[in-house]
A and B are shown apart, each in its own frame.
Chain A
Amino acid sequence: MSDPITRPTVGTPRESVDSSAVEEKREGTLPRGIDRLGERKRARLEQLAQATADKGGVSLLRDAFRRLRRNPTAIVGASIVALFVLVAIFAPLLAPHDPAQRFDELTKNLTVDSIPGASSEFPFGSDPLGRDFLSRMIHGSRQTLFVGVLATLIGLALGVLIGAIAGAFGGWVDNILMRVTDVMLALPALLLAISLVAMASRSSQWTVILAVAIVNVPIFARLLRGSMLAQRESDHVLAARALGVKQGSIVLRHMLPNAMTAVIVQATLTLSTAILEAASLSFLGLGDPDINRAEWGLMLGVDGQRYFEVRPELAYYPAIAIIVVALGFTLLGEGMREAIDPKSRR
């Protein structure tokens, strides 16, 4: 299923107009105006030496990091993510009120078809239970981050474990594990999550986290295995093997670290989908039943849906927050992908 009949890739490297032009342009940025031929050559040699020294092992990452810092996509994404994390950390300081407290001045105005709107005391107005919506939004960042990060980390850990075992051993172990991931991938993500939630007698925050995590396991497993298999054939692993390095330490020291970069990029992208999937589960009534919990997906999926016609802000604010944060993680992930593999830049 995820192994479409392999196609030969068309096109071999060639002397192309653009690349040679770019190549030479880069060289062209050398300082100008030195008179003596010898001096010029020495300068050039030094430059060359420096360039090759830069191509060492560690600097691959440093290179990627430098490209990351120059990539506007990544910068925007990272800024959004940083802001989100800061709000989550300092939520108790930022929120004007206790998110669980019901205020009399709000509850007394609550009716079936009206929920108090913005006031100077409560800038975002009230939620359906007479609590301060702004404070709930601010505290919601914490819970949303918590759900997203935990679901991603658990999915990543399990996926990496399965992928690493499959990639390291190959053979029938690989075959069995990959058929299992095939089965999991054959199920629509949301349906898989629903079936998993259904296994619990009562839904809770943890069932949501686990369900979202498990949906992502096969993706991480496939990714890690794929890049480890690619590594197995690569020159540096062959060299290590030729030098008689033990299989175990080849896997741990050489294959895994290199394969992990792709996984980290995927994890960043997954943070975005995890938050969206958690919101979807809440929308379907399979979310956290705790009415005191302030989490954006929950707020959007439950109250936002129920009171959409009464007070659409109850849906708009958490929805916008989710969209912006999901966008942030996506942009950061894409930026990282571009930085690690400049060729993927489109």
Chain B
Amino acid sequence: MLRVIVRRLLQLVVTLIGLSLLVFVWLRNLPGGPIEALLGERATPERRALLVKALGYDQPILVQYAKFMQRLLTGDFGNSIRSGDPVTEVIGRAFPATIELAAAAMIIAIGLGVPLGYLAARHRGRLLDNMSIAGTLLGISIPIFFLGYLLKDVFTQNMHWFPPSGRMSTGVDNTEVTGFFVLDGLLTREFDASADALWHLILPALTLATIPLAVIVRITRASVLDVLNEDFVRTAEAKGLRHKTIRGRHILRNALLPVVTTIGLQTGALLSGAVLTERVYNWGGLGTLIYNSISGGRDYPVLQALILLAALVFVVVNLLVDLSYAFIDPRVRVR
């Protein structure tokens, strides 16, 4: 088990080093070169000269890379070209918003997807199954930003069920503790703020959940179908066990193993989707930050940090998923 962890950690380090190399090369090849990319077009010659020196631009490429790595490891990503604030600060402000949105989307996707996938498999070939297959196909074929506009149009413009955009109504008094607004409200006992934040969260989370939901339904369905054919399910039936026991202990405990892996792999799709969803609902998270740092004059220092962060999140989440596997599946544990 320990060997597996060590190997996976090593793999993670290799991936991250590869990524840093890629970003390094990327920065050097940006239009106008890295100096302009990092300082913007309007920087003074003095500042340019300073950065050339700081980056070791007059030195061999290896030294440049070493300095680049040094800055990465110390968390020094420079300042945003747009706002002038330190990049870490800019990202730190947006990070909780996206995590809140992504977590809510994942809760919806898992909470709906697993039962739906299970039911579809149990009623294979019947109406529910066919409908869920059709639904998942539609889910992966619809541009999610369009779905976002559609939901917004129906539920806010026409029915006024949900607020159209933002994370919180203006005028609601909230105290920021973690940056997760729903959680903050609970922590500070400002329950109205919590409720308001939750109200704002529902439509964006639903929009973002579409693709993971479709994927989880499909994987769960296929996996449950596989398990239903297994001999041990027949054994469980032969023991006369109750439906509940067979479903939970014998079918789902086995069928959910591949679903767990899928959830890890969906992190990437979730971040991609967040860029689009946040734009539709004007949600002030990383997605909006990505959009702003590319469309309103390119903010490469922010973009660079975002790329690294996104990859880091993806790799770490998947590492955790793989490791959790070892605790869920006894066959992996003993190796």
B143 and A186: CB pair below 8 A? Answer: no
Say which residue of A5, A182, A191, A280 sits within 8 Å of B332 (CB atoms).
A5
Which residues from chain B contact A5 at a C-beta distance below 8 Å?
4, 322, 325-326, 332, 335
* Central interface residue in B153, B311, B332, by most chain A CB within 10 Å: B311
Report if A304-B318 is in contact (Cβ < 8 Å); known contacts: A194-B294, A199-B30, A272-B141: no
Which residues from chain A contact B321 at a C-beta distance below 8 Å?
4
Which residues from chain A contact B261 at a C-beta distance below 8 Å?
4
Report if A191-B290 is in contact (Cβ < 8 Å); known contacts: A5-B322, A198-B30, A308-B149: yes
B140 and A330: CB pair below 8 A? Answer: yes
Q: Interface segment, B55-63, B184-192, B197-205, B266-274?
A: B266-274
Output the nearest chain B residue to A329 by Cβ-Cβ distance.
B141
Is residue B99 contacting chain A, with contact meaning CB distance below 8 A?
no
- Interface majority SS (helix, strand, loop, mixed), chain A: helix
Q: Interface segment, A22-30, A140-148, A166-174, A282-290?
A: A282-290
B141 and A191: CB pair below 8 A? Answer: no
Is residue A276 contacting chain B, with contact meaning CB distance below 8 A?
yes
Is residue A58 contacting chain B, with contact meaning CB distance below 8 A?
no
Is residue A195 contacting chain B, with contact meaning CB distance below 8 A?
yes
Which residues from chain B contact A10 at a C-beta distance below 8 Å?
230, 232, 254
Report if A187-B26 is in contact (Cβ < 8 Å); known contacts: A14-B231, A286-B294, A327-B138: no
B322 and A4: CB pair below 8 A? Answer: yes
Say which residue of A191, A276, A323 sits within 8 Å of B306 (CB atoms).
A191
Chain B residues touching A, range: 35 or more
Is residue A342 contacting chain B, with contact meaning CB distance below 8 A?
no
Output the nearest chain A residue to B335 by Cβ-Cβ distance.
A5
User: Which chain A residues numbered 297 to 325 have a C-beta less than 8 Å away from chain B?
Assistant: 297, 300-301, 304-305, 308-309, 312, 315, 319, 322-323
Is residue A52 contacting chain B, with contact meaning CB distance below 8 A?
no
Is residue A42 contacting chain B, with contact meaning CB distance below 8 A?
no
A189 and B269: CB pair below 8 A? Answer: yes
Output the nearest chain B residue to A344 by Cβ-Cβ distance.
B222
B268 and A284: CB pair below 8 A? Answer: no
Output the nearest chain B residue to A14 by Cβ-Cβ distance.
B231
Report if A191-B143 is in contact (Cβ < 8 Å); known contacts: A186-B19, A312-B153: no
A185 to B264 alpha-carbon distance, docked (Å): 12
Which residues from chain A contact B153 at a C-beta distance below 8 Å?
308, 312
Output the nearest chain B residue to A1 by Cβ-Cβ distance.
B318
Is residue A7 contacting chain B, with contact meaning CB distance below 8 A?
yes
B314 and A7: CB pair below 8 A? Answer: no
B143 and A276: CB pair below 8 A? Answer: yes
Shortest Cβ distance from A150 into chain B, in angstroms?
Answer: 19
Is residue A244 contacting chain B, with contact meaning CB distance below 8 A?
no
Which residues from chain B contact A327 at a C-beta distance below 8 Å?
137-138, 141
4 cross-chain pairs, A with B, having the tightest CB-CB distances, nearest first: A190-B272, A201-B31, A188-B271, A326-B141
5 chain-A/chain-B pairs, Cβ below 8 angstroms: A188-B310, A191-B307, A194-B303, A195-B307, A323-B141
